[in-house]
Amino acid sequence: MIEQIKADLAGADARSIIHYIDQHFGSNAIFSTSFGIEDQVITHLIAEAKSSISIFTLDTGRLFPETYYVWNRTLDLYKLKIKAYYPETKSVEQLLETKGPSSFYNSVDDRKECCYIRKIEPLKRAIKGYQIWITGIRSEQSQNRDQMDFIEWDDANQIIKIHPLYNWTLSDVEKYLKDNFVPYNPLHDKGFVSIGCQPCTRAVQEGEDFRAGRWWWEDKSKKECGLHVTHK
Average pLDDT, the chain: 91
Domain 2-222 CATH assignment equals 3.40.225.10? no
Is the model's pLDDT at 221 over the cut of 60?
A: no
Alpha-carbon dihedral of residues 111, 195, 166, 161, nearest 10 degrees? Answer: 50
Query: Mean pLDDT over residues 135-151, rounded?
Result: 76
CA-CA distance, 23 to 180, in Å (whole number)? 24
User: Is the per-residue pLDDT at 2 higher than 80?
Assistant: yes
Residues 6+ positions from 169 with CB-CB distance below 8 Å: 138, 140
| Partners of 29 in the β-ladder | 132
For the segment 204-217, the average pLDDT, to the nearest whole number, is 82
pLDDT value of position 49: 96
pLDDT of residue 216: 85
What single letter denotes the amino acid at residue 152?
Answer: E
Among the listed residues 52, 228, 103, 207, the one whose alpha carbon sits nearest the alpha carbon of residue 155? 228
Amino acid identity for residue 19 in this structure: H
Task: State the burial class of residue 20 (Cβ atoms within 10 Å of its Cβ: 0-12, 13-18, 19+).
Answer: middle
Encode 193-203: b = buried (16+ Cβ within 10 Å), e = exposed: bbbbbeebbee
pLDDT(231) > 50 = no
Question: Tens of pLDDT along 40-99?
Answer: 999 999 999 999 999 999 999 999 999 999 999 999 999 999 999 999 999 999 999 999
The counts of H helices and E strands in the chain are 8, 6
Residue 217 has a pLDDT of: 85
Domain boundaries, the chain: 2-222
Q: What is the dihedral of CA 81, 211, 139, 119, to 10 degrees?
A: -40
Q: What sign does the CA torsion over 9, 12, 15, 16 have? A: negative
Catalytic residues: 225
Alpha helix positions (H), the chain: 2-8, 14-24, 37-48, 65-78, 89-99, 108-115, 121-127, 170-180
CB 14 within 8 A of CB 164: yes
pTM: 0.90
183 has a pLDDT exceeding 50: yes
pLDDT at 117 over 70: yes
Q: Residue 198 above 70 pLDDT?
A: yes
